[in-house]
Each structure stands twice: as C-alpha cells, then as structure tokens.
Chain A
C-alpha cells in the first residue's frame, strides 16, 4: 500500500542528545514537510523540501536539521540546540506543482525529552 511511514512511534531522549526521526514515503511525491504539534496548538512548519537535495526552513527551524538525499526519504534531526523538543512530530508529502494538492500525513512520532 502507498503511504507515509514514520519511525519510531515513540522516542525518548536525554537532554543534550541528538535524535533523528525517520520519514519515508512511497507515493512518488516530490514535496515533503515536517511539522511540530504541541498540545492545543496547530501544526507549525519546521522544514520543507520541494525536490531532492533541496530544502528550506519553515517557521521554527532553529534546533532542527534535515536532509533530502532520496526522493522517498526526509529525515529530521532534533539537535541539542532545540530548547524544548518534547512534542508530536508529523511528516507530510504531496505532489509538487499546483498548490491545491492536499498533503498526506504519516502517523507521527512522539518525542519526549527526559
């Protein structure tokens, strides 16, 4: 089945550690996105990528890094510079071009800093 997978579902991190969240899609989508969701908040854009080997910062990129070496994969690294990383992280993808194409979302990763 086509879709987006994110792993792990739950992730625990000690302060000062970097962690990488995985996002893979087999929908042949060009564009991929990372969002952060906090309780009672909407989704805030961290990074996005329109094509392979290219990505741009979103609204809250500080303390995060990404790579886009393959079309199918868009991993997100939460670095120790991120002051408050505990949140729910959602990855999404869509076909590029027309902005009316909806984004498809993965199941999310819940990150907790201990």
Chain B
C-alpha cells in the first residue's frame, strides 16, 4: 500500500523566516516517484518538483530546496526567506510502479502555510 503523511496541518511564519514542510511516505516498491504541489487560494494545484527513488541528491531552485532521504522515507521541502506569496497549501504525493494505476498519485493531507508580513 502507498501512503503519504504530512504531519504538519498548519504552519505560520513571519516573512523572511525559513520554513520546512515535512513529508513521510510508505511504499513497498523499489521504484517510485515523489512530488510536491502548491495550491494557492485560487485552488489550482501547481507542480513544483518530482524526484525518483534512485536519485537522493538534494535539489535547490531559488528559495526552494528539497531533501530526500530514503533511510527515513522522507522528502522534506524548505522555503528560505519566506514571502507572503508563499502562503498556500502544499501537498506531497507519491507514485509507485506497483500500484494498480500507472501514474496515479497518492496525496498527503497537505500543510497550510501562512506567511505574515
């Protein structure tokens, strides 16, 4: 079975603070893919990043960075110097080849991030 856990329901920070969103996943598959999506107040999910299970290299994109650790089954997302525009719900998702639906995503419950000015 595939499962994604985002234990942080809500996080509030003040602008310019760094913030890390946690994601823990469960799968028995050896080949799988992890995703992060952002859902702003408008509602549409925006793709942020994809990672495959064979690539544990961390990634940085501007103020965003991702830390993938297979040993702890985690794929955490850090926003450096947060801004008000970062306020959104962030979802972590998992796709595994062993699933009955090729390409289906299993989502965590999401973390509501609020950045105050």
Contacts and interface: CB of A to CB of B under 8 A. Distances in A.
A43 to B, nearest CB: 5
Contacts of B105: 43, 45, 103
Interface string B1-34: 0001010010000000000000000000000010
B72 interface: no
- Size category, A interface: 20 to 34
B35 to A, nearest CB: 6
A107 interface: yes
A91 to B, nearest CB: 10
Given A41-B109, A42-B108, A100 B50 contact: yes
A96 B110 contact: no
A1 interface: no
Contacts of B95: 99-100
Interface in A8-59: 31, 33, 40-45, 48, 50, 56, 58
B102 A42 contact: no
B117 interface: no
Contact of B103 (A31, A88, A108): A31
B97 to A, nearest CB: 6
Nearest to A109: B43
Contacts of A50: 102
Contacts of B103: 31, 94, 96, 98-99, 101, 103
A63 interface: no
B81 interface: no
A108 B107 contact: no
Interface in A56-114: 56, 58, 88, 90, 92, 94, 96-108, 110
Nearest to B103: A99
B104 interface: yes
A99 B47 contact: no
B104 A45 contact: yes
Contacts of A92: 45
Contact of A42 (B46, B47, B96, B107): B107
Interface of B: 4, 6, 9, 33, 35, 37, 42-47, 50, 52, 91, 95-97, 99, 101-105, 107-110
